[in-house]
Amino acid sequence: MKIKSGFVVRKVGGKSVAVAVGELSKEFRGMITLNDTARLLWDRLQQDTDEMELAQALIEEYDVSPAKAAADVEEMIGQLRAAGILEA
């Protein structure tokens, strides 16, 4: 899975914000504010990856338990899927 092509992330007021550009902006008209954890996952989702690799990235970066990492990944993936941001 990966983020659909057509999103850019910029720093706005010290926060990371993802917005759609080009043709995708006709389909997705919002913006997504990313905290540090979400930004790490977003960056990893620029390449095809899976939930296990994402959870491992959180464990390595933040020294969290595997259960916490898996729950955080599941929550974010669910939100991105619901918004139609992930490629099928």
Q: What is the mean pLDDT of residues 68-72?
A: 97
DSSP string, 53-75: HHHHHHHHHH---HHHHHHHHHH
pLDDT at 1: 95
pLDDT of residue 60 exceeding 90, the answer is: yes
Q: How many CA atoms lie within 13 A of 64 on its CB side?
A: 17
Q: Tell me: the pLDDT tens digits for 15-46?
A: 999 999 988 888 888 889 999 999 999 999 99
- In a 3-state reduction of DSSP, which class is residue 22? coil
pTM over 0.85: yes
Contact at 8 Å (CB) between 4 and 87? yes
Domains of the chain (ranges; CATH) run 2-87 (1.10.10.1150)
Q: Give the model's confidence band at 83: pLDDT under 50 very low, under 70 low, under 90 confident, else very high.
A: confident
Q: What is the mean pLDDT of residues 4-22?
A: 92
